[in-house]
């Protein structure tokens, strides 16, 4: 048999190498090897060499030319290009080298390899083959030169990539696309990754529809299946040579722009429902898919879908159910989809649907964690008499906004306020749950008006009841605006910093104590001055400690930052609280966020002595009348005579109820701040209860009057009794 005839028909089990030209197809003549001096081998000897070595020698040497067509390397794997316009399916026999197998190959022989003849002689038979393959793989990574496209014979414009017609191209495209889709962590990123990976490499236009609302996990959706257009993308009118978009000129309008309605309801038993139930991607020229297009795109929009196999409808199926659909389209100026492209669409749809499923689950978990943390922390700080408050909270990471840090401000009897900041070990949902229990316990203990050291002692017992490894640090302080004093107890927490007006920030010397949860440790409390205008800063260790610095270095930096900020407003004015908190957080560097950060700032305004009136009343029948006279004198001194009638009535009712059961002197105190506050204390621990008096009752209407006339009122139990208080606006 003539060897030249054999080279024209490649075997069915072999595919042309992607990096080789059609002349290098399996069975074609290999290039003539380099020989020493002497005549070149004949064509018959080359044919015998081909039969001996088979397809191993089908790769040409680097820089070798075969026939009239220059070797065209394959584009890089990350940029699998779109297909050029028009053209029939190419065939190996279309190449001139296949029609003229006896063409002169001596001109294409590679240059003799460098090196001594002895080195060439020692080379093993397979070394040359491996060298040729390595050179071929290097050539395939080179940029594509301009010229005729070697499979279709058409001219490829500059910047227009070559067709994706080989299995290797499809595999590399699917690999690059799935990696891009997998990089997304939320729903928008995954859908955008699908669109950007698909257009323009695989399709000219893509429409992504998702179920609304998306089911989460195993929950069963209720109501009809509704699909909403989540995102659409299409190839721009022009591309530059780098593969980017040209922003200067707007893309030309296309009939593909009119595709896609915002919402569609999938009717049970409809053509669209059957296509989605089938799960597999289908060409839209199929009868079932063609009937489903009007339901998906809207009436009349299906006419804009290109005819033939230029559109693929791919259902998006998650772990449990169909969650959407993707429509891939190619314009008329482009090669139609092939049967293998259905497998590519299936891979893209599967990876995208599973990624969307996981993104929805992640979003639900992040929402639950964020809601848990938000409900554990105070939504708004209370407005307390004689003190202004500001706070900040920063989680350790944006992806997990939960942690064990907390802060709180709790109003106490006598216009006092408790300032609390704590830190549970870790920054997980378990830490947040433990933090919530400790914060609730602290609020309950504060309501009993216990001393700070007793509050920490009970918190330590509560932490031991929660578990052996439930440990936390906490700082509990009580500020009295009338006495201008603050009492602080510490349980292993970083010390607070006090910033007075015109002074230097100082770290308060408080006993360190042991963390909560250790057990068997006594806590100590210290009482310090709290001058008016001073600022107390309570914080967690995440603000001052990181991998780049220790705790005390961070505390010194924080103190210097506070002092520098105070100098900006001058020696007579304290810095604004909100701006001060922002300045404190600005001291954090890029590597300083290793833990959660809780920050609580308190500005001590205090209550001036001339704004306080305080009396002791003996528990006798004349006490209510004396209380009315004392209150009238105090209001006259403050220029608040317009409140005399209301204050006398309410003071008389509250003092009457107190002296009825008290055995010790009753206290009466009036405080003039932005409101008028009246406090009546006695030694009876039972709290009064508001009730509706009957027409025949002689009493029981005192608290009803207080509830109707006062701006606010309340009762707080003390360790020695209780305090009943009410507030009136100055304009009442």
Q: Which of 569, 393, 588, 605 is nearest to 479 (CA)?
A: 605
CB–CB of 430/372 below 8 Å?
Answer: no
Q: Enter the tokens of residue 178.
A: 């799935």
Whether the pLDDT of residue 495 is over 60: the answer is: yes
- Output DSSP code: residue 261: -
CA gap 23, 11 in Å, rounded = 15
Return the minimum-mean-pLDDT range out of 87-96, 159-168, 292-301, 304-313. Answer: 87-96
User: Is residue 494 within 8 Å of residue 544, measured between CB atoms?
Assistant: yes
Q: What is the token pair recorded at 414?
A: 């006598």
* Cis peptide leading into residue 213 (ω within 30°): yes
- What is this structure's pTM? 0.63
What φ, ψ does residue 264 adopt, rounded to 5°?
-150, 145
State what percent of residues in the chain have pLDDT above 90.
Answer: 34
Task: Report the pLDDT value the prediction gives residue 428, as an integer from 0 to 100.
Answer: 76
Report how far residue 8's alpha carbon sits from residue 20's, in angstroms, rounded to the nearest whole number.
16
| Of 401-405, 484-488, 524-528, 682-686, the least confident | 401-405
Give me the helix-helix angle, 271-278 and 287-297, nearest 10°: 110
Comparison of pLDDT for 427 and 566, the residue scoring more: 566
pLDDT at 573: 85
Rounded to an integer, what distance in angstroms lies between the CA atom of residue 164 and that of residue 367? 42
What is the pairing mode between strands 311-317 and 282-283?
A: antiparallel
Nearest-5° Cα angle at 502, 499 to 504: 50
Residue 602 is encoded by which pair of tokens?
Answer: 């308190």
The CA distance from 61 to 80, in Å, is: 24
Query: What DSSP designation does 546 have?
Result: B
Q: What does the pLDDT look like over 320-361, one tens digit per residue?
A: 788 899 999 998 888 899 999 999 999 999 999 999 988 888
Q: What is the 3-state secondary structure (H, E, C) of 602-655?
A: EEECCCCHHHEEEEEECCCCCHHHHHHHHHHHHHHHCCCHHHHHHHHHHHHHHH
Alpha carbon 407 to chain centroid, angstroms: 24
The larger pLDDT score, comparing residue 46 to residue 294, is at 294
Helical ranges in 528-572 per DSSP H: 551-568
pLDDT in tens, 361-406: 888 888 887 788 788 888 889 988 889 999 999 887 665 567 789 9
- Residue 341, SS3? helix
At residue 240, the pLDDT reads 39
Q: In whole angstroms, give the CA distance from residue 529 to residue 551.
A: 26
Cβ neighbours of residue 186 closer than 8 Å, sequence gap 6 or more: 359, 362, 363
Q: d(Cα 420, Cα 348) in Å, to the nearest integer? A: 53
The band of 260, judged by pLDDT with boundaries at 50, 70 and 90, is: low
The CA distance from 652 to 650, in Å, is 5
The mean per-residue pLDDT over the stretch 699-720 comes to 83
In terms of pLDDT, which residue wins out, 614 or 303? Answer: 614
Assess contact for 533 and 566: CB atoms under 8 A. no
- DSSP secondary structure, 427-448, as one string: SSHHHHHHHHHHHHHHHHHHHT
How far apart are alpha carbons 182 and 222 in whole angstroms?
29
Q: In this model, does residue 547 exceed pLDDT 70?
A: yes
Model confidence pLDDT, tens digit, residues 126-152: 444 444 444 444 444 344 444 444 444
Residue partners of 120: CB distance under 8 A and separation at least 6: 113
Alpha carbon distances (Å) from 369 to 381, 406, 459, 472, 573: 22, 15, 24, 20, 41
| Distance separating alpha carbons of residues 576 and 450, to the nearest angstrom | 32
Q: What is the DSSP string of 179-245?
A: HHHHT--SHHHHHHHHHHHHTTTT-SEEEEEEESSPP-TTPPP-S-EEEEEEEEEE--S-B-TTS-B
The whole-number pLDDT of residue 108 equals 41
Q: What is the pLDDT of residue 732?
A: 52
Q: Tell me the pLDDT tens digit for each residue of 566-604.
A: 888 877 888 999 999 999 998 876 655 677 889 999 999
How does 242-281 read in b/e, with b if 16+ C-beta sit within 10 Å? Answer: eeeeeeeeeeeeeebeebbbeebebeeeebbbebbeeeeb
Region 702-713: mean pLDDT is: 87
Catalogue all structural domains in the chain, each as residue range(s) with its CATH number: 167-234+259-367 (3.30.450.40), 377-604 (3.60.40.10), 609-729 (3.30.565.10)
Q: pLDDT value at position 157?
A: 52
């Amino acid at each position: 048999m003539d060897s030249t005839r054999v080279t024209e028909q490649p075997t069915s089990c072999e595919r042309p190498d992607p990096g080789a030209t059609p002349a290098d197809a399996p069975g074609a003549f290999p290039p003539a090897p380099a020989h020493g001096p002497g005549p070149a081998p004949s064509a018959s000897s080359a044919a015998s060499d081909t039969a001996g070595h088979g397809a191993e020698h089908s790769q040409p040497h680097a820089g070798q030319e075969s026939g009239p067509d220059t070797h065209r390397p394959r584009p890089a794997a990350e940029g699998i290009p779109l297909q050029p316009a028009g053209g029939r399916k190419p065939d190996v026999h279309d190449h001139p080298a296949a029609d003229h197998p006896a063409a002169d190959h001596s001109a294409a022989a590679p240059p003799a390899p460098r090196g001594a003849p002895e080195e060439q002689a020692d080379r093993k038979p397979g070394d040359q083959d491996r060298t040729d393959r390595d050179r071929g793989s290097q050539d395939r990574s080179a940029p594509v030169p301009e010229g005729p496209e070697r499979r279709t014979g058409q001219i490829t414009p500059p910047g227009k990539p070559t067709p994706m017609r080989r299995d290797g191209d499809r595999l590399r495209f699917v690999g690059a696309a799935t990696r891009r889709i997998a990089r997304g962590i939320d729903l928008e990123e995954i859908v955008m990754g699908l669109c950007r990976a698909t257009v323009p490499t695989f399709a000219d236009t893509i429409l992504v529809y998702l179920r609304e609302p998306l089911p989460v996990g195993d929950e069963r959706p209720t109501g009809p299946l509704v699909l909403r257009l989540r995102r659409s993308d299409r190839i721009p009118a022009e591309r530059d040579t780098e593969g980017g978009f040209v922003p200067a000129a707007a893309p030309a309008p296309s009939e593909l722009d009119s595709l896609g309605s915002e919402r569609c309801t999938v009717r049970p038993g409809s053509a669209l429902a059957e296509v989605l139930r089938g799960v597999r991607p289908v060409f839209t020229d199929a009868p079932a898919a063609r009937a489903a297009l009007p339901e998906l795109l809207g009436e009349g929009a299906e006419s804009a879908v290109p005819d033939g196999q230029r559109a693929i409808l791919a259902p998006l199926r998650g772990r449990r159910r169909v969650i959407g659909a993707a429509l891939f389209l190619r314009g008329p100026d482009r090669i139609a989809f092939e049967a293998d492209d259905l497998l590519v669409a299936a891979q893209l749809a599967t990876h995208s649907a599973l990624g969307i499923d996981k993104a929805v689950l992640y979003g639900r978990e992040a929402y639950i964690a964020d809601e848990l943390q938000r409900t554990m922390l105070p939504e708004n700080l209370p407005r307390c008499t004689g003190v202004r408050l500001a706070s900040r909270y920063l989680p350790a990471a944006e992806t997990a906004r939960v942690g064990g840090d907390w802060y709180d401000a709790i109003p106490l009897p006598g216009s006092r306020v408790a300032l609390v900041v704590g830190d549970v070990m870790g920054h997980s949902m378990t830490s947040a749950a433990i933090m919530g229990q400790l914060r609730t316990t602290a609020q309950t203990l504060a309501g009993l008006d216990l001393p700070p050291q007793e509050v920490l002692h009970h918190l330590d017992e509560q932490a031991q009841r929660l578990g052996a490894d439930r440990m936390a640090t906490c700082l509990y302080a009580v500020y009295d605006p009338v006495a201008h004093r603050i009492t602080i107890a510490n349980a292993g927490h970083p010390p607070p910093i006090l910033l007075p007006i015109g002074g230097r920030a100082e770290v308060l010397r408080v006993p360190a104590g042991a963390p909560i949860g250790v057990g068997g440790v006594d806590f100590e409390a210290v009482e310090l001055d709290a001058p008016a205008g001073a600022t107390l800063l309570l914080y967690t260790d995440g603000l001052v400690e990181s991998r780049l610095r220790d705790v005390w270095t961070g505390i010194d930096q924080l103190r210097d930052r506070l002092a520098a900020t105070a100098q900006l407003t001058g020696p007579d004015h304290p810095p604004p609280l909100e701006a001060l908190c922002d300045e404190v957080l600005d001291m954090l560097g890029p590597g300083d966020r290793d833990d959660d950060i809780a920050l609580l700032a308190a500005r001590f305004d205090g209550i001036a002595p001339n704004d306080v009136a305080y009396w002791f009343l003996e528990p006798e029948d004349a006490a209510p009348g004396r209380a009315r006279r004392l209150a009238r004198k105090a209001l006259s001194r403050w220029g608040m005579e317009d409140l005399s009638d209301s204050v006398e009535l309410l003071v008389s009712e509250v003092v009457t109820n107190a002296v009825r059961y008290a055995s010790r002197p009753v206290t009466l105190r009036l405080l003039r701040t932005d409101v008028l506050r009246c406090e009546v204390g006695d030694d009876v621990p039972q709290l009064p209860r508001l009730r509706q008096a009957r027409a025949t009752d002689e009493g029981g209407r005192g608290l009803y009057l207080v509830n109707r006339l006062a701006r606010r009122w309340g009762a707080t139990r003390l360790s020695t009794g209780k305090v009943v208080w009410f507030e009136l606006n100055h304009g009442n």
